[in-house]
Amino acid sequence: MSGHTAQMSSRDGRWVLYVALLGVPVSQWPEHDFGTGNVPTPAERSRVLTGLGFVFTGGAEWAWTEYGM
C-alpha cells in the first residue's frame, strides 16, 4: 500500500482539496472544489477523499500551514 498527500488550498476564495501524486502531471491530480465559504471540516474532507477513492490510514492527520504571498 502506498501513501499519498492530500492538501487544500484557497483559490480566488474557493476551497480546493487535491491529492498530490508523484510522477503525475499536476493537471491530472484528483481534486474537489468545495466552493466559497468556511474552511471544510475534517469530516467533509474525509468524505471527499473517500469519493475520490482514497482513505485515511492509521495516524493520518491534518495540519494547517499558511503561506504569505
For residue 36, the SS3 value is strand
Give the integer Cα–Cα distance in Å for 59 and 32.
Answer: 23
Mean pLDDT, all residues of the chain: 86
Instruction: Answer yes or no: is pLDDT of 68 > 60.
Output: no
Instruction: Answer yes or no: is pLDDT of 67 > 80.
Output: no
Q: Give the mean model confidence (pLDDT) for residues 48-58.
A: 87
The residue to which cell 499519498 is assigned: 4
* Cβ atoms within 10 Å of 45's Cβ, excluding its own: 19
For residue 46, the SS3 value is helix
Confidence of residue 66 (pLDDT cuts 50, 70, 90): low
Instruction: Answer yes or no: is pLDDT of 33 > 90.
Output: yes
Could you write out the three-class secondary structure of 2-29? CCCEEEEEEECCEEEEEEECCCCCHHHC
